Structure 1
């Protein structure tokens, strides 16, 4: 079985050899940028990356082709090898080459001016990929109903520990927090019904480093390794969870982001399914599992996480 890591741990000299051997390219310069290599060649600039979670790269490449055919060009293409393969195998790991996007920079996590174009880009991206045939989606990328199932499992566990005697005030505080939050999310789902959106192939990794912006204020998306078929609120909630905690969850920018995505003026109250995903986020469900298993620590990391979660609650308080 191939051993897959995110980071390219090869020396630059070896990367140069692999690129020139497998592609019709002559390397002019090479430099490490985070987990990848920026490779400047006689035919342009490319990113040499580890194929983390890309063993189904044929499917991913088809999705990128679909986006480009439909006029969505703000995502990098995968480059084919000389023998028409997409992956390079070396020392029990897999690598690939993709376009290095010119004239783009990461969005500024301290600003809000990129949220509207991000909403527009994500909407276009989702609408195109919502139309792909369901039978071509790899099983490992189909996450339909998984968040709801995890929420229901958490609620069952909550019932099991409701009579538990907690040893410390901290444990009682955490229990009360998880109790209120999980029930709130469940009540939202029961009262509002299913998501208003159609399932689509979500990006799945919308942190700041994967959202780029160009001089014309267009947003680009990179790093598609975590694509999953799911409700699009997965991407909406994920972007919001990465960006808004450090800004104390401001209502106006949130409404601007959601309105740009929906193409009409909306707020979080208009999308209760999304509000439920924010109330019982994936990280909250993981932390509750750790709490249930007695593995959550009383440390600054958990205290700060709880503080940030509490700050979110003004979004649904009246």
Structure 2
């Protein structure tokens, strides 16, 4: 599509804004709009995503959190324009200046995420029976998963000839089992620590934290974009998907990831119960179990090589995550011990 078509495609939407566009480029769902008054980004989203996320952005601005690329209102005050069954919203174009040090970029992202969570944190009343129900449902779900893992192992071992997938699963079984047990212990600890708790802590979640959604301006300041999945929830809900993606790589030590987590915790310290729940969810090997379940439920011949590759990628995630949670667990125990020794002296 040439620039004229890019501009024609969105000209009806741009008429709602006090700008004079003369050129446009396409970048997936975003159009880069050149105007006499500067460069803008026009984003197209599905209407079911709605414009509710704008409220979350405005609330954060009201709390003095300004590291968000703002959304501009139209001439009649709307923050999203419905056109041809799509919603559009307008922002300034942030150049995303290249930063060579990726780890430093991640640390800045986690620092800003912690600051956003700190400014939006709220205590929410929670009935003990609601928390208990969540605990019991999670435990029940994990017990079912463990039952499947044990049953699948048995069915593999009973075969005269195992497929490559089944053989690999048997080799990985011990680590899968250990991860399940670690996650269950942490979940039970969390439950014990929150027996009498009447409140829980919620924050405004970004909803889709990733390096692609954290842009840098020419001065080196980082800004979040893509708040379409923003909602209120537990802070760990922003961390877990990001960490899972970062750790789903070939076997590596996760010290860099641990550094990112502690940058976040320095600015938004977890309470003891939040830390137990965080480690529990991070450790549970749901990805590798999902792949094994899909393989087990197959209705016809499958591409064995592809399934083995999927299993292997999930095993790397399991391995890398195991390193990270064990290290965090050790660090937290050392901190607790130092605190107790300090109190005694």
| TM-score normalized with structure 2 length | 0.69
2:341 corresponds to 1:314: no
Looking at structure 2, the residues matched to 281 and 254 of structure 1 have their Cα atoms a distance apart, in angstroms, of 18
Q: Identify the residue that residue 340 of structure 2 maps to in structure 1.
A: none
Aligned counterpart for 2:44 among listed residues 50, 55, 70 = 50
> Structure 1 residues 132 and 308, CA, compared in 2 at 3 Å: closer, same or farther?
closer
Report the CA distance between 1:293 and its aligned residue.
3.8
CA contact (8 A) 1:31 1:39 kept: yes
2:23 corresponds to 1:29: yes
Q: Identify the residue that residue 39 of structure 1 maps to in structure 2.
A: 33
CA contact (8 A) 1:185 1:276 kept: yes
Which SS does the other structure have where 2:88 is aligned? Answer: strand
CA contact (8 A) 1:182 1:279 kept: yes
Aligned counterpart for 1:61 among listed residues 54, 60, 64 = 54
Q: Identify the residue that residue 314 of structure 2 maps to in structure 1.
A: 305
Report the CA distance between 1:191 and its aligned residue.
2.7
Unaligned 5+ residue runs, structure 2?
Answer: 126-132, 331-345
Aligned counterpart for 1:277 among listed residues 278, 281, 294 = 281
Aligned counterpart for 1:128 among listed residues 119, 125, 133 = 119
- Which residues of 2 match residues 203-214 of structure 1 at below 5 A? 203-214=206-217
> Structure 1 residues 285 and 220, CA, compared in 2 at 3 Å: closer, same or farther?
farther
Deviations 1:34-83 (A, max 9, x none): 331111223332222222376431x3112111111222111122222333
Report the CA distance between 1:103 and its aligned residue.
4.2
CA contact (8 A) 1:106 1:208 kept: no
Aligned counterpart for 1:99 among listed residues 91, 94, 112 = 91
CA contact (8 A) 1:107 1:209 kept: no
Aligned counterpart for 2:166 among listed residues 152, 165, 171 = 171
Looking at structure 1, the residues matched to 90 and 253 of structure 2 have their Cα atoms a distance apart, in angstroms, of 35
| TM-score normalized with structure 1 length | 0.75
Q: Does 73-82 or 11-20 show the bigger shift? A: 11-20
Which SS does the other structure have where 2:229 is aligned? Answer: coil
Q: Identify the residue that residue 158 of structure 1 maps to in structure 2.
A: 146
Report the CA distance between 1:115 and its aligned residue.
3.0
Which SS does the other structure have where 2:40 is aligned? Answer: strand
The structure number with the bigger radius of gyration is 2
Aligned counterpart for 1:76 among listed residues 64, 69, 74 = 69
Q: Does 201-210 or 93-102 show the bigger shift? A: 93-102
Q: Identify the residue that residue 12 of structure 2 maps to in structure 1.
A: 18
> Structure 1 residues 19 and 53, CA, compared in 2 at 3 Å: closer, same or farther?
closer
Which SS does the other structure have where 2:113 is aligned? Answer: helix
Report the CA distance between 1:289 and its aligned residue.
5.2
> Structure 1 residues 231 and 133, CA, compared in 2 at 3 Å: closer, same or farther?
closer
> Structure 1 residues 53 and 204, CA, compared in 2 at 3 Å: closer, same or farther?
farther
Looking at structure 1, the residues matched to 320 and 312 of structure 2 have their Cα atoms a distance apart, in angstroms, of 13
- Which residues of 2 match residues 233-252 of structure 1 at below 5 A? 233-246=236-249, 248-251=252-255
For these two proteins, the number of residue pairs brought into alignment is 294
Q: Identify the residue that residue 264 of structure 2 maps to in structure 1.
A: 261
Aligned counterpart for 2:228 among listed residues 202, 225, 228 = 225
What RMSD, in angstroms, separates the aligned Cα atoms of the two structures? 3.9
